[in-house]
Amino acid sequence: MPPPTSASRTIFVANIPYDVSEEQLASTFSEAGPVNNVEIKFDPQTGRSKGYAFVQFYDEATALSAVRNLQEVPVNGRNLRVELSTDEPGPRRGGRGSRGGIPGHPAEDTPPRGYDAGPPVNRVDLSALPEGAPLPHAANATDSISKTLATVTPGQMQDVMASMKSLITTNPEQARQLLSSKPQLAYALFQAMLLMNIVDPSVLQRIQPLPATAPPPPSNYPPPAQNAYPAYPPASSGPSYPPGGAGYRPPPQQGGYNSAPPAAGYGTPSYGATTPAPPQPPASGMAALPPSAQQALATLPEDQQQMLLQVLQLTPDQINALDATQKASIMQLRQQFLGTAA
C-alpha cells in the first residue's frame, strides 16, 4: 500500500482565466492522469473565480507529471502556471481534507477502473495535418475515411482522441477552426468515436440533415471494414467504482469537481443558442437516412461541432467505462448511416 499521506498529490494551478470551469480544468489535467478532484477558488463576495485552483490526483507521481507536462499550457488564452501544492487548506488535516464532501468521506484514494498508470499519451500535432488530397478513382470521401480508420491502431486512435480533446479544452477556437477547415478530420473523429463506443450511435438520429446543398453521393456504400477493429477497450469487467464507497457516490456539491460521470447516456447536450431547427421526432422517420445526412456529418455544422466537442470531453475513465455491445452499436450505426446493414 502506498503511504496514506503523501507529500502532495495536489497541484496548485494559477493564472486561470476567470471563465474556465472546473470540468474544463479536469479535462485538461486528465492528460497527465486520472483526476480525483478540482477546486477553483471563488471570491464569495463577487462570485468570480480567483484565478487559481487545486487539482488533486490519485498519487504524487501523476501530480509531478502534471507539473512537468502541463506547465504553461494555454487555456483560453492564458498560460497556466502549475506547481505542487504545499499547504493544506486548514488546521484539520488529520487525514486528507474532505471539505465540500461528506464528513468521513475523504477524497477517493483509488482512481477509477481502467487506469493502470496507463501508457502515456503521445501527443499528435493536429495542426500538421496534410491538406485534403484528391481521391483516386472518384472514390467517395466517407468510404475512404472508413478505410483509413480501419488501418489505424487503437493506440494511435487514442492518441489522436486525447490530442484533440486536449486541444479542445486548451484552445477551443483553434479546435473549432481546425474542425471547420478539415471536415475529413471531423468526420473521422466522429466515426472513430462510434468505433470506440465513446458515443452512442443513436446520436446520429439527432443530427439534422443539412439543407442539401451538395449533390447526393452514390447510395450504396461498400461496408467499412466490418471486423477490422479490435475490441475496445480490452474488456474491462464490470462497472466497478472505486472501493470503499460500496456504491455510494457523493452528491454533486459546491466543493468542486469530482469525476464520477455516468457511463453512458450523458445528459442532454445542451445546444448553443444557435440551434436553428425545431426538435424533430426521432427514430422511425430516419430509418432511411438521406444521403444529405452523410454530408451533414462530414460537414459538421456548428451544432454538431458543439456536440462533438462535448462528446470529446469525456474523460478516459468514462471511455473505459464503456464496453462491449460495440458490435451491435456498429451494426446499428451501419443501419442508420448506410441505410442498410448488409
Partner DNA sequence: GTTGAGCGTT
**Which residues are near DNA by CB under 7 A?**
10, 12, 14-18, 39, 41, 44, 49-52, 54, 56, 78, 81, 83, 85-92, 97, 99
b/e sequence 11-48, b meaning 16+ C-beta within 10 Å: bbbeebeeebebebbbbbbbbbbbbbbbbbeeeeeeee
- Alpha-helical segments (H) within 171-225: 172-181, 183-195
Minimal distance, residue 49 CB to DNA, in Å: 5
Element at 128 (helix H, strand E): none
Residue 48 C-alpha cell reads as 468570480
> Minimum distance from CB of 26 to DNA (Å)?
14
Q: For residues 90 and 238, which CB has a smaller minimum distance to DNA in the complex?
A: 90
Sequence letter at residue 296: A
How close are the terminal C-alpha atoms of the chain, in Å? 52
Q: Indicate the residue among 40 and 189 with the shorter CB distance to DNA.
A: 40
Query: C-alpha grid cell for residue 283?
Result: 427514430
Q: Rounded to the nearest whole angstrom, what is the least distance from the CB of residue 199 to DNA in the complex? A: 33
Q: Which is nearer to DNA, 68 or 327 (CB)?
A: 68
Shortest reach from residue 23's CB to DNA, in Å: 17
Number of H helices, E strands in the chain: 10, 6
CB of 96 to DNA, least distance (A): 9
Alpha-carbon gap, residue 317 to 183, rounded angstroms: 28
Cβ distance to DNA smaller for residue 92 or 249: 92
Give 34 or 101: the residue with its C-beta nearer to DNA: 101
